[in-house]
Every structure is written in structure tokens, then in C-alpha cells.
Amino acid sequence: MFFNPYKIMAKKTRNTVQLGFFVTIAIILFMVAAYLIGSYESMFSSALRISSVFHNVSGLQAGNNVRYSGINVGIVESLVILDDTTVQVNMKLDKKLQPFIKKDAVASIGSDGLVGSMLVNINPGKGKSTAVENGDIIPSYSRVGTNELLNTLGKTNENIELITNDLLLITKQIIKGKGTIALLLQDSQLADGLRQSVANLQATSNYLSASGRQLENIIAQVDQGDGLLSQLLYDTTVIDNLNTSISQIDTVADQLEPFLLELQQSANDISASSATLRATLEALNAGEGPAGAMLRDTAAANNLRQTLENLNEGTARFSENMEALQHNFLFRRYFKKQAKEKEKAGQEP
Amino acid sequence: MPGAPFPGNQLKEYFRQTGEVWLFTVRFFREAIRRPFEWRELLHQCYTIGNKSLFLVGMTGFIMGLVLTLQTRPTMEEFGAVAYMPSMVGISIIREIGPVITALICAGKIGSSIGAELGSMKVTEQIAAMEVSGTNPFKFLVVTRILAATLMVPLLVIMSDTISLFGSFLVEHFKGEVSFRLFFNQIFRNLTFGDLIPATVKTFFFGFAIGLVGCFKGYYSREGTAGVGRAANSAVVIASMLLFVIDFIAVLVADIFYDL
Amino acid sequence: MEPLIEIKDLYKSFGENRVLNGFKLGLYEGENLVIVGKSGSGKSVLLKCIVRLLEADSGTLKVLGQPIPGLDQYTLDQIRTEVGFLFQGSALYDSMTVRENLEFPLRRHPEKINSQGVETMVLNTLRSVGLAHTIDLMPEELSGGMQRRIALARTLILQPRIILYDEPTSGLDPITSKEIIELMLKVQKEYQASALIITHDMDCARVISNRMIILFDGQNHAEGTYSELSRSSDPVVQAFFK
């Protein structure tokens, strides 16, 4: 009863065990943290080092992430100013990615979300190329800034406005210019037959000359008296009508020539502007960060939407005109029909 | 002379104390490397300082993580940057808040208990008793306590960091449906050794400062029970102040080494 | 015969306050020397100077033939193991058990451990103060008198040649005081130690002293046996024997 050394010894031992437990846990936690950080940091121990040269790195820093097709694959190792306008970005990537990144892969600077840190995006190249090697310098794509983007779009807008004006003029000319064309435009029956029309304006102009020749043939055929039209020959009123029509066609053809040139011009304009537009859209696709920014920026978005609407409108009008034009070129068929109708009209009285 | 009434004397007192702290520190290092070592007392102190503070430190750590996340979340939500919560919380806890808050808690708990214990030992002549029995009270009392604080505070900080990250995870999990794996992936992907190492190294200094101040104040406490109270109180106050000074220096030094 | 403690012309002052003013003393083998003085007359200071808890300002201070001031730490610690010190308030280590209190000095002076081993030495020492059953108690569980006895045991365990008693009966009731005094006499004989006792308890002095010194104004005011001094006509001396 006097003394129980074991009680105290046992307590001491228990304390020491508890201490040991605590120390072990804490050290393990530290090791785990160190390991986890280390595994993210030295994931690239056998690293693939490539670099790319930019004019503007938009605040990129050493340690920023590098993404390939949106996956984090490495970090920016260092930034070296090469000369007054270019900066070389040295990247450290996971060695395992070497086979996937081709020599024509394109690096661009982006940002991780609206408020995120800057990063380097590597996008696969278009063509087939060999895999990159250590120390390669891959091409860079300088993403257009938001301002540039808006400038381009503004220019596109102006272009589209010009095109629309041209088209408007053309349509007015068509409507005012000749009764026949106006008539043609209103003739819905013709539409189906006329759909098999030439695809582009170049071909159309060829057609025009061809139809000129064919017109001659028609007249020749009429002269020879075969086909449907030959019957018309006996009807003098018809012939008169036909004569007038032919002369009308001549004038139409004459008038059509500048109009076609104009049309060609506007078509060129449109293709030019659509090229710009495509570039813009590509930039939009490629530049992830500012694109995101753009899309969230309502002002920019409205601008963009307006532009696209204008563009749509322009294209719609253009195709309208095209159709109208196509109608005009198949004179022969038209005249066949016209003749039939006139025949009917002649027979009626 | 106690209660120095003139500013000149106060200044002199300040320099005297600073000088004494310096001598105390030098003595600590001299005694710490000289045999024999008080292993058992060191273990005992490690237990007292470490395990006995674990609950308090864990509790405050947990609440710290919880509150930090709860309070930051709405702001981050406003910016649409909720996805950055884990890495933000992780970096701030590991780098700064965890070490500093835990060290402050330790200064309160460990610093005051060392100050009061040694102070009362001084007052009741226990320290003198050790001295006159030809043993070295400095080695037995001071060296072990400072060493124990130096060793245990970093471990306590690690525990506190872990627990507060867990607290933060709970908030993220229940408010933002963030999975455990995503949360910790986010944290560790954004942490570097440049965050972890300086933060850990400075906690050793925190522990050293807490132990040193507590021991100094206790060891040289004045006679009487009031002296003991003053020793405990000034140990906490001075240690807390010192922690911020060390933290500031640590940030400067870390900047040099890690070029952050 | 060479004195165990030899003090000559000892001066010690705290600021303006001169506590010891040319005090001299010689403690010889086997004697119990009692120093009597008023509170604050510098008795405790004297004891602390002997074991260098305080540094004397000037004078000769030799313990076991070694001059204490300026002694290197190692030799000083060796001498300290030969000089036991019983503190006024016992000064037991309150974070340790009785056993640990006794083991504490012993384990740090392995040369003092005899063939019996630490365990037996602790028990024997406790038996000699009659408190073997308290070995695993904490000091706060003991009464003041028991604490004082444990403190004595802790002093004895190193088998010192000299024991310095600082007010051994202060704070104790008369009966306990008497017990302590008897215990002191017993262990003095058992351990063959000489004692330097400072006290203002004349009962204690009467029982234990072979020789007494009256300390007054920091100097030896009078010296002699209890009976000699009790018959003194000096008013200062008389004041103690009232």
C-alpha cells in the first residue's frame, strides 16, 4: 500500500507512447505533404524541355502551368528576353507526352478563367509532323487581344455594310431596270426548273456567253421551223412579240454586264470578309482566356452578334440576288414557257 | 531596482533585459551541446508541451479552417472564383495563418505555463535547491523546455494545418460539393516547396522563441507570487510580439531564398 | 584542526544596504553551530554566500579548504554535493514524486551511488526520516512537517559532510518543530555531518547547538555556548533570550 512504483512507471510509459504516437503522426503528415508537393513539382523529373518565342507573354511567370489540349502537363521553367521584341518561354513538360506533341504544335498564352493565372496552351498542329525533341522551339501563336478582335470585327462590319449597299443597288436595278426581270422574279412557276443553276459567278458568266450562242441556235431553229417554236412562226403576233422580246433580252444582257461585275465585286468582298471572319473565329477558338472574356463581356458579345446578324443579312440578300440572277440566265427555257403562254394567249381570242 | 520610475532607467532596464536574454540564449546553446543530456526530462517536456496542447491547437485549427473558408467563400463566389477556394485556403493556411495562429496559441499555453512553472520554482527556491545539490537546473529546466518547445511547436503546427484544412474541406464539401480528392489535389497542386519549407522552418524559430521567453521570464522572475504572475504574463506578451517579428523576418528571408 | 567552513571579513551589500559587514566564522568537524540573528540581519545571505547562490563582495570564504569565490563550476558542484542545504520552505520539486525528489541529485552524481543502488539508498534515507511510505506521493500531498523531513532526506542522500539549515523550524507548529529538531540531531549523528544552523528559534538553538554566534549589524556580536550567552549581560544578546 505504501508505494506503487508501477503505477507511476506505467503512467510515464503511457505518456511516452502517446508522445511517440503524436510525433509519428505529425512527421508522417509532413512527409505526405512534402511527397504530394514533390510529386507535383518533380512530376517532370525526367522532363521534356521545349520552348517557344512570343512577342508578349501577358504577365506569364515562371511556375505557371502549361496545358496541352487543356490538360496540365508541365510548368513554365523560365522566361528569357531574347531581344527588344521577343521573349523566349522555356517549358518543362512531362516526358511521357513527347510522342503526342508534334513539332508543329502551336503554343499560345492564355489564362485560367477570368481571374486565373496566366498559362501556356499548346495546341496540336494541323499537319502531320514528327514528335518534338528536347530543346525544340515550337511555333507560337500570338493570340489577338480583345481590342484587336473588336477592331477586326469593326472592319468586317464596314465591309458588310458596303456589300449590302451594293446588293441593294443591284436589286433596285433589277427591279427598276427591266420589266421582264421583274416579271421573272415574280414568276414562281419557274423557280423549280431554274434551281439547277450554276454554282459560282465565274461559271455564270460563261453560261451567259453560252446562252448567247444558244439564243442564236434557238433563232436558227425557229428559222428552220422545228421544235415547238417553229409553230409559233406562223403566228405573226407571236413573232412580233418574240422580236420585241429578243431585243429586250439584248438590252437586258447589255445592262446585266456591269451588274455582273458588281456582283462579282461584292462576292469577292464577301469572301474576303468571310476570310477575316474565319480568322477571327479561329482566334476566338484558339485564344481560350480572352475568348472566355469576350464571351462574358456583354458589350463585345452584342457587337459580335450584331456583326453576325449583319453578315447573315448580307449573305441572305446576296443569295437572293444570285437566285434572281440565275433565273435570268436560263433565257431559253424561260422563253419556251413564255412562248407557250403567249401561244395560249394567242389561241384564246 | 524594480519599477524604474524614470524614462532613462526604463531604457536602461530594457537594455539590461536584452543583454540578459542574449546571455541566456548563449548559455542555452552552450549547455544544450554539453553532456550529460536530460533525455527523460526532454521527453517529459515534449509530452507536456506537445500532447497536452494538441487538443487546444487542434480545436482552434479546426475552427480556423472552418471560419476562413466560410468567410472567404461568399467573396470568391462574387468573383466566380469558387474553384480557387481550396488552393487559396491551402496556401494561406500552410504559409501563414496556420503557423502564426498556432504559435500564438502555443505562446499563450506553453509560454505562460513555462513562465509560471519556472517562476514558482524560482520563488519557492526549487531552482536554488537544484543548484546547491550540485546539479544544473539550467540544463534540467531550461534546455529541455526550450528544446521541447522548438521541436514540438512545428509538429503542432503540422497537426493544426492538417486539421484546419480538414475543417475547410468540410465547408467546401457541404457548400460546394467538392470531393475530398479534388480538394486536396487542388491544394497540393498549387503548393510548392517554397510554401512548405519556409513555413515549416519558421515554426522551429517560433517554438524556440516561445520556449526561450517563457524560460527566461520564469528563470529570472522576481520573488513573490506577484513575480510568478508577471513572469507568466510577460512571457506570453513578449513571446507573441516576438512571433510577429520572427514571422516578418522569415518572410523577408524566404523571399531571398525562394524568389517568390 | 582545519575548519570545514572558514569565513573571514565577509562583506556583502545590496545597493546601499550593507548586510554582511566583516563577518567571520569557523565551522569545525562534528559541531553544530547556530547563528542567531534578527530577521533581515543577513543570516540567509550568509548561507547563500557559502554555497555561492550569492556572490560575496569581499572577504575569505573557504569550504572544505577551497576558496568558494572564483571557483570553477565543476569543483563548485563537487563541493556543493558535500554541503547539504535545507531550505526554509523545503523547496521540494513539486512536479516530482518523493522518490524522484530524492533520486534527482543522486542520479546526477553517480559517484555518490553506493553498492546498494539507487532504489535502496532512497528507501534507506526515507526510513531514516521515517517517511518510507510516502515514496510515491507528490509533495503537495504531504504536510509541512513531512515536506521538511523529505527535504532533509533529499539533503542527506548525497551524504554531505556539512549541512546548512536555513530556519529549519520556520512555519511549523511547536510540536512539529520539536520533531524536526530531534530528527536533525538523530541524522547528524547517523550521517556524522557538521551543521551550520541559522534560526531565530531559541528552543531550536538550545537543543541543537554546541556553539552559537549572535549576528548583529552584519558582524559577530557575541559568540559562545547557549548557556554562556544566556547569561550574557549584553542587551542585544539578552533580547534573544527573552
**SS3 track for chain C:** CCCCEEEEEEEEEECCEEEEEEEEEEECCCCEEEEEECCCCCHHHHHHHHCCCCCCCEEEEEECCEECCCCCHHHHHHHHHHEEEECCCCCCCCCCCHHHHHHHHHHCCHHHCCCCCHHHHHHHHHHHCCCHHHCCCCHHHCCHHHHHHHHHHHHHCCCCCEEEEECCCCCCCHHHHHHHHHHHHHHHHHHCCEEEEEECCHHHHHHHCCEEEEEECCEEEEEECHHHHHCCCCHHHHHHCC
pLDDT beyond 60 at A293: no
Residue B192 to residue A19, Cβ atoms within 8 A? no
Per-residue pLDDT 10s for chain B (260 aa) are 444 456 678 888 888 888 999 999 999 999 999 888 888 899 999 999 999 999 999 999 999 999 999 999 999 888 878 888 888 899 999 999 999 999 999 999 999 999 999 999 999 889 999 999 888 899 999 999 999 999 999 999 999 999 999 999 999 999 888 888 888 888 888 888 888 888 999 999 999 999 999 999 999 988 778 889 889 999 999 999 999 999 999 988 888 876 64
* Residue among A19, A37, A114 minimizing CB distance to B191: A37
Q: Cell 567552513, residue?
A: C5
* Residue among B44, B51, B158 minimizing CB distance to A30: B158
A17 found inside a domain: no
User: Between these two residues, A188 and B110, which has the higher pLDDT value?
Assistant: B110
Residue B135 to residue C104, Cβ atoms within 8 A? yes
Let me know: does B102 contact B156? Beta carbons within 8 Å: yes
Q: How many CB atoms lie within 10 A of CB B149?
A: 32
pLDDT band, residue A289 (cuts 50/70/90): very low
Query: How many angstroms separate the CA of residue C163 from the nearest CA in chain A?
Result: 28
User: Between these two residues, A307 and A229, which has the higher pLDDT value?
Assistant: A307
Chain B environment of A30 (Cβ under 8 Å)? 158, 200
Cα dihedral sign, B76-B77-B79-B82 = positive
**Overall size of chain C counted in residues:** 242
User: Between these two residues, A239 and A275, which has the higher pLDDT value?
Assistant: A275
> What's the CA gap between C65 and C79, in Å, rounded?
10
A22 found inside a domain: no
For C33, C61, C76, the CA distances from C66, given in Å and listed in that order, are 20, 8, 9
* A56 close to B (CB below 8 A): no
* Residue among C133, C134, C136 minimizing CB distance to A8: C136
Quote the number of domains for chain A: 2
C68-76: average pLDDT: 88
Mark whether A260 and A287 lie in a shared domain. yes
Residue B51 to residue A38, Cβ atoms within 8 A? no
> Which residue, A122, A138, A154, sits at the end of a domain?
A138
> What's the CA gap between A108 and A288, in Å, rounded?
9
Nearest chain A residue to B88, by CA: A116
C162-C165-C169 Cα angle (round to 5):
150
Mark whether A124 and A193 lie in a shared domain. no
> What's the CA gap between B5 and B3, in Å, rounded?
6
Looking at every residue in chain C, the average pLDDT score rounds to 89
Chain C environment of A8 (Cβ under 8 Å)? 97, 136
**3-state DSSP call for residue A52?**
strand
Residue B44 to residue A33, Cβ atoms within 8 A? no
Q: Domains of chain C, with CATH numbers?
A: 5-240 (3.40.50.300)
User: Between these two residues, C15 and B260, which has the higher pLDDT value?
Assistant: C15
CA atoms within 13 A of residue A145's CA, in its CB half-sphere? 6
Mark whether A311 and A335 lie in a shared domain. yes
> Which residue, A138, A156, A179, sits at the end of a domain?
A138
Chain A environment of B81 (Cβ under 8 Å)? 113-115
Question: What's residue A228's pLDDT?
Answer: 53
Mark whether A196 and A246 lie in a shared domain. yes
**Overall size of chain B counted in residues:** 260
Q: How many CB atoms lie within 10 A of CB A319?
A: 11
CA atoms within 13 A of residue A115's CA, in its CB half-sphere? 11
Query: How many angstroms separate the CA of residue B48 from the nearest CA in chain A?
Result: 9
> Which residue, A119, A138, A157, sits at the end of a domain?
A138
Q: Tell me the count of A-C CB pairs closer than 8 A.
A: 17
Query: How many angstroms separate the CA of residue A40 from the nearest CA in chain B?
Result: 6
Let me know: does C202 contact C241? Beta carbons within 8 Å: yes
- Of A29-33, A310-314, C86-90, the range with the lowest mean pLDDT is A310-314
Tell whether pTM > 0.90: no
A31 found inside a domain: no
* C88 close to B (CB below 8 A): yes
Chain C environment of A5 (Cβ under 8 Å)? 99, 135-136
Q: How many CB atoms lie within 10 A of CB A196?
A: 8
pLDDT band, residue A79 (cuts 50/70/90): confident
What would the pLDDT profile of C167-210 be if each residue is shown by its tens digit?
A: 888 888 889 899 899 999 988 888 888 999 998 888 888 888 88
Looking at every residue in chain A, the average pLDDT score rounds to 70
| A26, three cell numbers | 505529425
First to last CA, chain A: 146
Mark whether A108 and A168 lie in a shared domain. no
Q: Which of A278-282, A302-306, B96-100 has the highest mean pLDDT?
A: B96-100
Cis peptide before B36 (omega within 30 of 0): yes
A27 found inside a domain: no
Closest CA to C77 of C58, C114, C56, C51: C51
Let me know: does C98 contact C78? Beta carbons within 8 Å: no
pLDDT beyond 50 at A99: yes
Residue B134 to residue C109, Cβ atoms within 8 A? yes
C46-58: average pLDDT: 89
Share of chain A above pLDDT 90, in %: 1
Query: How many angstroms separate the CA of residue C93 from the nearest CA in chain B?
Result: 6
Q: Which long-range contacts (CB under 8 A, 24 or more apart) does A205-212 make?
A: A205/A260, A205/A264, A207/A329, A208/A253, A208/A256, A208/A260, A208/A329, A211/A329, A211/A330, A211/A331, A211/A332, A212/A253
pLDDT beyond 50 at A198: no
* B52 close to A (CB below 8 A): no
Question: Crossing angle for the helix pair B112-123 and B144-176, nearest 10 degrees?
Answer: 150
* Residue among C132, C134, C136 minimizing CB distance to A4: C136
Residue B84 to residue A29, Cβ atoms within 8 A? no
Cα dihedral sign, B219-B221-B224-B225 = negative
* C109 close to A (CB below 8 A): no
Mark whether A202 and A96 lie in a shared domain. no
User: Between these two residues, A53 and A269, which has the higher pLDDT value?
Assistant: A53
Query: How many angstroms separate the CA of residue C97 from the nearest CA in chain A?
Result: 9
Let me know: does C236 contact C216? Beta carbons within 8 Å: yes
> What's the CA gap between B41 and B140, in Å, rounded?
7
Chain B environment of C85 (Cβ under 8 Å)? 129, 132-133
Interface test with B, best of A18, A19, A297 (most B CBs within 10 A): A19
Let me know: does A291 contact A140? Beta carbons within 8 Å: no
Q: How many CB atoms lie within 10 A of CB C8?
A: 13
User: Between these two residues, A260 and C44, which has the higher pLDDT value?
Assistant: C44
* C118 close to B (CB below 8 A): no
Interface test with A, best of C98, C99, C131, C136 (most A CBs within 10 A): C136
Amino acid at A155: K
Nearest chain B residue to A15, by CA: B47
Residue B192 to residue A41, Cβ atoms within 8 A? yes
Question: What's residue A82's pLDDT?
Answer: 85
A22-A28-A31 Cα angle (round to 5):
145
Mark whether A112 and A153 lie in a shared domain. no
pLDDT beyond 50 at A288: no
Chain A environment of B93 (Cβ under 8 Å)? none
What would the pLDDT profile of C198-207 be if each residue is shown by its tens digit?
A: 988 888 888 8
What would the pLDDT profile of C86-144 be if each residue is shown by its tens digit?
A: 998 889 998 899 999 999 998 888 888 888 888 999 999 999 898 989 999 999 999 98
Query: How many angstroms separate the CA of residue C105 from the nearest CA in chain B?
Result: 6
Mark whether A153 and A301 lie in a shared domain. yes
A25 found inside a domain: no
Interface test with C, best of B39, B114, B126, B144 (most C CBs within 10 A): B126
Q: How many CB atoms lie within 10 A of CB C66?
A: 13
Domain extent at residue A83? 47-138
Give the contacts of C120 (CB within 8 A, at least 6 positions apart): none
For residue B158, the 8-state DSSP code is H
* Residue among C78, C80, C95 minimizing CB distance to B132: C80
Residue C63 CB-density burial (10 A; 0-12 exposed, 13-18 middle, 19+ buried) = buried
Chains contacting A (3 or more CB pairs within 8 Å): B, C
Query: How many angstroms separate the CA of residue C242 from the nearest CA in chain B?
Result: 32
> What's the CA gap between A73 and C54, in Å, rounded?
71
Nearest chain A residue to C135, by CA: A3
CA atoms within 13 A of residue B75's CA, in its CB half-sphere? 8
**3-state DSSP call for residue B248?**
helix
Which parts of A128-202 are beta strand (E)? 137-138
Query: How many angstroms separate the CA of residue A93 from the nearest CA in chain B?
Result: 15
Mark whether A125 and A159 lie in a shared domain. no
Question: What's residue A292's pLDDT?
Answer: 47
Chain A environment of B158 (Cβ under 8 Å)? 26-27, 29-30, 33
Residue C99 to residue A5, Cβ atoms within 8 A? yes
Question: What's residue A226's pLDDT?
Answer: 55
Mark whether A193 and A297 lie in a shared domain. yes
Which parts of chain A are beta strand (E)? 47-54, 65-68, 71-81, 87-94, 106-111, 118-123, 137-138
Question: What's residue B153's pLDDT?
Answer: 96
Query: How many angstroms separate the CA of residue A9 from the nearest CA in chain C?
Result: 11
Give the contacts of B197 (CB within 8 A, at least 6 positions apart): B258
* A36 close to B (CB below 8 A): yes
Query: How many angstroms separate the CA of residue A288 from the nearest CA in chain B?
Result: 17
Residue A115 to residue B46, Cβ atoms within 8 A? no
pLDDT beyond 70 at A3: no
* Residue among B1, B129, B134 minimizing CB distance to C91: B129
A213 found inside a domain: yes
Query: How many angstroms separate the CA of residue B122 from the nearest CA in chain C?
Result: 9
Nearest chain B residue to A30, by CA: B158
Let me know: does C184 contact C208? Beta carbons within 8 Å: yes
> What's the CA gap between A21 and A15, in Å, rounded?
10
* Residue among B128, B135, B136 minimizing CB distance to C91: B128
Chain C environment of B125 (Cβ under 8 Å)? 87-89, 91
pLDDT band, residue A15 (cuts 50/70/90): confident
Question: What's residue A2's pLDDT?
Answer: 45
A113-134: average pLDDT: 77
Residue C80 to residue B131, Cβ atoms within 8 A? yes
Rg over alpha carbons for chain C, rounded to the nearest Å, is: 18
A19 found inside a domain: no
Share of chain A above pLDDT 70, in %: 52
Quote the ipTM score.
0.90
Mark whether A226 and A174 lie in a shared domain. yes
Question: Crossing angle for the helix pair A298-329 and A288-296, nearest 10 degrees?
Answer: 90
* Residue among A15, A37, A113 minimizing CB distance to B193: A37
Mark whether A193 and A288 lie in a shared domain. yes
Q: Cell 449573305, residue?
A: A315
A11 found inside a domain: no
